[in-house]
Amino acid sequence: MALIELANVHKRYENDGVVTPALNGVTLNIEEGEFVALMGPSGSGKSTLMHIMGFLDHITEGTYLFRGRDVSRLGKDDLARMRRGDVGFVFQAFHLLPKSTVRDNVTLPMLYAGVRNGERRERADRALAAVGLTHRAEHLSNQLSGGERQRVAIARAIVNDPKVLFADEPTGNLDTKSGTAVLNLLQELHEQGRTIIMVTHELEAAEHAERIIRIRDGQVITDAKNHSRRRGEYHK
């Protein structure tokens, strides 16, 4: 059984009677432990697909199974629990609280998950160690560089040990050196057994993944293994 199974998935948005298709019959499986890049130009549907797989949006038609569960049959409470425990998100804009410490930012998802105070600090410190930022734990997030902020965002995303880590254009706001560091960190997390799904429009970033799925006009146009993965070669 695949971790994620999508079969003939469609997504349409309607506004004032105007229907806009975003996904047009997407079928794909993602196995546990894969590092997948979803690649395509702006408006291709790749972010919509990520939002659906991450329980942030609903399909209009088709089937989405997550670990064998039919996501379309789940209620709001179940979906909220899955967002808290099964997936983590890293976004281009970081979305950190600027006047809070790095540790407090990483702790935030555990507050919603009901983790007790002592365990929150312990788990936050483990996540910060995993991204190499233990020495920054007491700094405010607005005192960090862009690359450090994205590493804090990754620590926050993995602190609840999710089944899938979603990264939406994680290098989009970073310079070349910082982008390389973030992509190498994602590879390291993958090598530790994490499932990673990264949305990007940049081939150089996508080539750090082991599988590249290209999307255009809401459809999968190619889906292939990447036999020449890059490491430390990111050029913006």
At 178 the three-state DSSP class reads helix
Q: What is the model's pTM?
A: 0.92
Residue 197 vs residues 17, 42, 80, 216: alpha-carbon distances, Å: 33, 17, 20, 17
Tens digit of each residue's pLDDT (9 = 90 or more) over 185-219: 999 999 999 999 999 998 989 999 999 999 999 99
Q: Is pLDDT at 17 greater than 90 in this prediction?
A: no
At 236, is the pLDDT very low, low, confident or very high (cuts 50, 70, 90)? very low
Average pLDDT of the segment spanning 71-87: 91
Q: Which residues pair with 81 in a beta bridge?
A: none
Q: What pLDDT score was predicted for residue 1?
A: 86
Write down the H helix ranges in 93-175: 102-113, 117-130, 146-158
Q: What pLDDT score was predicted for residue 235?
A: 46
Percentage of the residues of the chain whose pLDDT score is greater than 90? 79
Find all residues with CB under 8 Å of 88, minimum gap 6, and list them: 109, 156, 157, 158, 159, 160, 162, 164, 165, 166
Per the CB < 8 A criterion, the answer to whether 210 and 227 are in contact is no
What gap in Å lies between CA 31 and CA 192, rounded to an integer? 15
Domain ranges in the chain?
A: 32-55+76-225
Instruction: Name the nearest CA neighbour of 94 among 177, 33, 182, 193.
Output: 182
Identify the residue with better confidence: 114 or 19: 19
Average pLDDT of the segment spanning 41-70: 95
Q: What pLDDT score was predicted for residue 183?
A: 94
32-55+76-225 falls under which CATH superfamily?
Answer: P-loop containing nucleotide triphosphate hydrolases (3.40.50.300)
Q: What pLDDT score was predicted for residue 140?
A: 96
Tens digit of each residue's pLDDT (9 = 90 or more) over 124-173: 999 999 999 999 999 999 999 999 999 999 999 999 999 999 999 999 88
At 233 the three-state DSSP class reads coil
Instruction: Name the nearest CA neighbour of 85 among 114, 124, 119.
Output: 114
The two beta strands, 164-168 and 87-91, are parallel
Over the chain, what is the mean pLDDT?
A: 92
